[in-house]
């Protein structure tokens, strides 16, 4: 395997000159643009690419990759920069391939409940374009990420309990390989046993095996009835245990979101939520027929009652629901606003549902011991939770403690039979725990990386430790 070192400056300069010749103003070397493309929303350890190119087609992407391959220079895909684990950092410089201008919805097949989009389409854009079809795309990681980025990180979010993750909802891909060939994977049939599942291999590979340029997605009919409710609990254990019983009972809740007392306090202030206390809280959403939604919510209320939950406060109107979910999506900013001047990062972990209470309660105790402020929230219906860790950027020991806390959460989840990341990905921040989770099978990942990207030019330094 060619491990990457920063390529020769002269080679890079010639490559940039080639790209400028071909792409004109769509090949940008200004520091501001390179800086903007050097990090996502997580901890900013900016690593600037040498040039940012804005392709408009598969063929343009292929031509850029072929030049990068010829020059043995890294190429890193970029959507809208909402990654949380350093996926887009140009650790060895190279070419940032900004796909945001490949943002067309190519086909909507209402009859087959599927569509094909370019990688730069964002999930909000897609849902706006689906308006009037009676269909929607449910995967909702909070940020208005691109479908390409969501595919590359195997994202999920609040709706995954009912609708699955990107893994379940990507039917096929157009990918530019490390050789610069445009290939199609998967297809439009609901299922297939024809050959290796290349689609699932690229989903979650974080751009290290190829550049995803188009995605075939499953769509769903907008449910006849949707209603959302909020329930508060005296303590964290009760809230989490209610979730565990609900999932074990197979209630098809569309969303179950947990906010702990610290997060709820932050969200009440930031999002001006009225009528709630700073107590552990669950946000629910139910999808189905009118009768089905009534049945699900009655079952869920009964379980919550058993754990001392409050009477559900309903948000049935679309605007009320939007306000509630906006508060949930703004949780990260609400947390930041708790401590002005602090910086923060989010980490996520996911465990089998039976271990969720143990994992969250041990984590909460560790947070309290650490002296850091770190609200807990998450998509708990999947066993997935997040920690937003706040720390003083001027205090190196605080950052060290914050990172140690995050690593400890990863290791705890792995010990409990879970994973160091349910949906944010590995990027380069979690490379050190991947082997703890996957053991010797990481060698198979390395073999695949070597086979498909022998010169290690596709987003080097990410996803799999080489």
Residue 7 sits in the site that holds a copy of itself (CB under 8 A): no
CA atoms within 13 A on the CB side of 196: 4
- Stretch touching a copy of itself by CB under 8 A, among 179-187, 233-241, 262-270, 300-308: 179-187
CB of residue 261 vs a copy of itself: minimum separation in angstroms?
25
Whether the CB-CB separation of 49 and 34 falls below 8 Å is answered with yes
Residue 441 sits in the site that holds a copy of itself (CB under 8 A): yes
CB of residue 239 vs a copy of itself: minimum separation in angstroms?
17
Structure tokens given for 163: 């609708």
Whether the CB-CB separation of 149 and 79 falls below 8 Å is answered with yes
Among 144, 354, 365, 395, binds a copy of itself (CB under 8 A): 354
Residue 203 sits in the site that holds a copy of itself (CB under 8 A): yes
Structure tokens given for 382: 């999947």
Closer residue to a copy of itself (CB): 189 or 318: 189
Among 46, 308, 352, 393, binds a copy of itself (CB under 8 A): 352
Structure tokens given for 318: 């679309």
Please report the DSSP string for 196-252 in residue order: --HHHHHTTSTTSSEEEEEEEEE-EEPPSEEEEEEEE-SSHHHHHHHHHHHHHTT--
Q: How far apart are the first and last CA of the chain?
A: 8
Q: Tell me which residue of 59, 39, 65, 140 sits closest to 102, measured CA to CA.
A: 59
CB of residue 48 vs a copy of itself: minimum separation in angstroms?
25
CA separation for the pair 299, 48 (Å, rounded): 52
Helix (H/G/I), strand (E/B), else coil: 405:
helix
- Stretch touching a copy of itself by CB under 8 A, among 30-38, 41-49, 199-207, 226-234: 199-207
Q: Which of residues 265-304 bind a copy of itself (CB under 8 A)?
A: 289, 291-292, 295
Q: Tell me which residue of 256, 237, 207 sits closest to 428, measured CA to CA.
A: 207
C-beta neighbour count of 326 within 10 angstroms? 10
Residue 162 sits in the site that holds a copy of itself (CB under 8 A): no
Closer residue to a copy of itself (CB): 198 or 282: 198
Closer residue to a copy of itself (CB): 53 or 414: 414
Among 6, 323, 407, 450, binds a copy of itself (CB under 8 A): 450
Please report the DSSP string for 158-207 in residue order: TTHHHH--HHHHEEEEEEEETTS-EEEEE-SSS---SS--HHHHHTTSTT
Closer residue to a copy of itself (CB): 32 or 194: 194
Instruction: Please tell me what DSSP assigns to residue 106.
Output: E
Residue 422 sits in the site that holds a copy of itself (CB under 8 A): yes
Residue 250 sits in the site that holds a copy of itself (CB under 8 A): yes
Residue 165 sits in the site that holds a copy of itself (CB under 8 A): yes
- Stretch touching a copy of itself by CB under 8 A, among 2-10, 93-101, 201-209, 265-273: 201-209
Closer residue to a copy of itself (CB): 181 or 269: 181
Diameter of the chain measured on Cα atoms: 69
Among 83, 177, 232, 267, binds a copy of itself (CB under 8 A): 177
Residue 140 sits in the site that holds a copy of itself (CB under 8 A): no
Q: What's the alpha-carbon Rg for the chain, to the nearest Å?
A: 22
- Stretch touching a copy of itself by CB under 8 A, among 24-32, 160-168, 262-270, 276-284: 160-168
CA separation for the pair 175, 215 (Å, rounded): 9
Among 421, 456, 457, 460, binds a copy of itself (CB under 8 A): 421
Residue 156 sits in the site that holds a copy of itself (CB under 8 A): yes
CB of residue 252 vs a copy of itself: minimum separation in angstroms?
9
Q: Which of residues 90-109 bind a copy of itself (CB under 8 A)?
A: 109
CB of residue 218 vs a copy of itself: minimum separation in angstroms?
11
Phi, psi of 418 (to 5 degrees): -110, -155
Bridge-based pairing of strands 27-28 and 51-53 is antiparallel
Residue 366 sits in the site that holds a copy of itself (CB under 8 A): no
CA separation for the pair 104, 125 (Å, rounded): 10
Among 97, 424, 428, 429, binds a copy of itself (CB under 8 A): 424
CA separation for the pair 286, 435 (Å, rounded): 38
Binding mask of the shown chain, residues 377 to 406, with x at each position contacting a copy of itself by CB under 8 A: -----xxx----------------------
Closer residue to a copy of itself (CB): 55 or 418: 418
CA separation for the pair 6, 288 (Å, rounded): 53
Among 167, 339, 401, 407, binds a copy of itself (CB under 8 A): 167
Among 350, 389, 398, 406, binds a copy of itself (CB under 8 A): 350
Among 99, 160, 240, 327, binds a copy of itself (CB under 8 A): 160
Structure tokens given for 239: 């809230």
Residue 237 sits in the site that holds a copy of itself (CB under 8 A): no
**Going along 54-93, which residue ranges are E strands?**
75-78
In what helix (H) or strand (E) does residue 411 lie, and over which residues does it extend? helix 396-415
Question: What number of chain residues touch a copy of itself (CB under 8 A)?
Answer: 88
């Amino acid at each position: 395997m060619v491990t990457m070192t920063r390529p020769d400056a002269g080679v890079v300069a010639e490559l940039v000159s080639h790209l400028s010749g071909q792409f004109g103003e769509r090949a940008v070397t200004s520091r501001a643009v390179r800086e903007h493309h050097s990090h996502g929303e997580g901890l900013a350890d900016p690593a600037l690419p040498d040039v940012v190119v804005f392709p408009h087609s598969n063929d343009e992407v292929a031509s850029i990759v072929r030049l990068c391959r010829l020059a043995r220079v890294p190429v890193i895909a970029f959507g809208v920069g909402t990654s949380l684990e350093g996926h887009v950092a140009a650790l060895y410089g190279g070419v940032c391939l900004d796909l945001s201008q490949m943002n067309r919805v190519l086909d909507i097949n209402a009859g087959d409940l599927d569509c094909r989009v370019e990688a730069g389409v964002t999930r909000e854009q897609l849902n706006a374009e689906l308006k009037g079809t009676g269909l929607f795309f449910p995967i909702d990681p909070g940020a208005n990420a691109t479908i390409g980025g969501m595919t590359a990180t195997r994202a999920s979010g609040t709706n995954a309990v009912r609708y699955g993750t990107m893994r379940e909802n990507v039917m096929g891909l157009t990918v530019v390989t490390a050789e610069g060939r445009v290939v199609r994977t998967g297809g439009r049939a609901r299922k297939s046993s024809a050959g290796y599942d290349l689609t699932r291999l690229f989903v979650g590979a974080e751009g290290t095996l190829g550049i995803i340029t188009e995605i075939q997605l499953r769509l769903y009919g907008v449910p006849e009835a949707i209603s959302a409710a909020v329930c508060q609990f005296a303590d964290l254990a009760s809230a989490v245990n209610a979730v565990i019983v609900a999932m074990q009972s197979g209630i098809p809740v569309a969303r179950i979101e947990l906010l702990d007392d610290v997060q709820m306090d932050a969200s009440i202030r930031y999002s001006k939520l009225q009528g709630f206390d700073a107590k552990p809280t669950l946000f629910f959403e139910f999808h189905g027929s009118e009768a089905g939604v009534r049945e699900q919510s009655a079952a869920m209320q009964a379980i919550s009652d058993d754990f001392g939950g409050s009477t559900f406060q309903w948000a049935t109107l679309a605007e009320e629901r939007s306000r509630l979910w906006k508060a949930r999506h703004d949780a990260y900013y609400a947390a930041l606003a708790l401590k002005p001047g602090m910086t923060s990062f989010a980490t996520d972990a996911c465990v089998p549902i039976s271990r969720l209470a143990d994992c969250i309660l041990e984590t909460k105790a560790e947070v309290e011991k650490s002296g850091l402020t770190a609200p807990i929230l998450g998509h708990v219906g999947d066993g997935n939770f997040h920690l937003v860790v706040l720390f003083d950027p001027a205090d190196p020991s605080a950052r060290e403690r914050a990172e140690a806390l995050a690593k400890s959460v990863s290791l705890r989840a792995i010990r409990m039979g879970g994973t160091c990341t349910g949906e944010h990905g590995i990027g380069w921040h979690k490379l050190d725990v991947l082997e703890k989770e996957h053991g010797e099978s990481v060698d198979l990942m390395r073999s695949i990386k070597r086979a498909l990207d022998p010169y290690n030019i596709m987003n080097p330094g990410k996803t799999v430790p080489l």
